[in-house]
Amino acid sequence: MKEKYERKEIMSPDEKFTAIANLKEQLEENFITLGQLLSEIKRAKLYRFKGYEKFKDFVEGEYALSGSLGAKLVQSFDLFIEEMDMDEGTVKEIGFDKLQMVRPLITKADFKEREAWVQKAEEMPTKDLRDHIKELRKQEKGDDVDLKSVFVDQYLEKMLTWFNCSGKELQFKLALFFQDADLEAVKKVVKERQRAFELEQSQTTKEKE
């Protein structure tokens, strides 16, 4: 049976602050509860009770946790428990480290892909999962040539050769050129040319398939 996660809004701000201090000592065991408490504190901006204007400063100042770790705890709870409605037992069994490996991939994936990544995280050892993701990204990088980057590199090379200057000096010259330009007109031209560029690349891709 699915283990539903009990929400903790009924706790006072001080009770939540104390709970986090106690739970953080065993982060791997308590990362779900920590993520929930931090998520609720961030969402309701309860860190202001402690005199902080930013959630990152609150986490670092009160609990000696890095801002990035605090953000990961919140993101993990929000994605796996809140959004995907996974049961606590499965999430704990996968573990915080492996969840962080697949979270960026799951965030931008569709429903079926999400299920597949969760299954891989459940079944694969940490090292194998890490190697699998690394290899996948290497293949994607090799297969997916960023044509926009190629276009930019070619343009910059042309401009640097024409003006016979450094990259920083070229930025200065372009700033001089655009300082009094009609930005609305520039925006219109850029939009039209970008659409034409993307249509051309899309057509080229279809012809190759």
What is the tens place of the pLDDT at every residue in 131-149?
A: 999 888 877 765 545 677 7
pLDDT surpasses 80 at 6: no
Residue-level pLDDT at 4: 46
Pairwise pLDDT comparison (20 vs 4), residue with the higher score? 20
Contacts of 115 (CB under 8 A, 6+ apart): none
Q: What is the pLDDT of residues 21-58, one digit of tens each?
A: 888 878 888 999 999 999 999 999 999 999 999 999 99
Q: Which two tokens stand for residue 193?
A: 């040319």
pLDDT surpasses 90 at 92: yes
Alpha helices in 9-95 (DSSP H): 13-23, 27-44, 55-63, 67-76, 88-94
Q: How far is CA 205 from its chain centroid?
A: 28
pLDDT surpasses 80 at 7: no
Percent of the chain residues topping a pLDDT of 90: 45
Q: What is the pLDDT of residues 167-180, one digit of tens each?
A: 889 999 999 998 98
pLDDT surpasses 90 at 166: no
The answer to whether 96 and 28 are in contact (CB under 8 A) is yes
pLDDT surpasses 50 at 1: no
Alpha helices in the chain (DSSP H): 13-23, 27-44, 55-63, 67-76, 88-94, 96-107, 111-123, 126-143, 147-163, 167-178, 183-208
Give the residue-averaged pLDDT of 101-126. 92
Q: What is the pLDDT of residues 107-118, one digit of tens each?
A: 988 888 999 999
Pairwise pLDDT comparison (207 vs 194), residue with the higher score? 194
What are the backbone angles phi and psi of residue 179, rounded to the nearest 5°? -60, -35
| Whether this model's pTM surpasses 0.85 | no
pLDDT surpasses 90 at 199: no
Query: Crossing angle of helices 183-208/147-163, nearest 10°?
Result: 130
Question: Would you place residue 83 in the very low, low, confident or very high pLDDT band (cuts 50, 70, 90)?
Answer: very high
| CA 59/CA 201 separation, integer angstroms | 46
Residue-level pLDDT at 205: 64
Question: Would you place residue 79 in the very low, low, confident or very high pLDDT band (cuts 50, 70, 90)?
Answer: very high
| CA 18/CA 135 separation, integer angstroms | 42
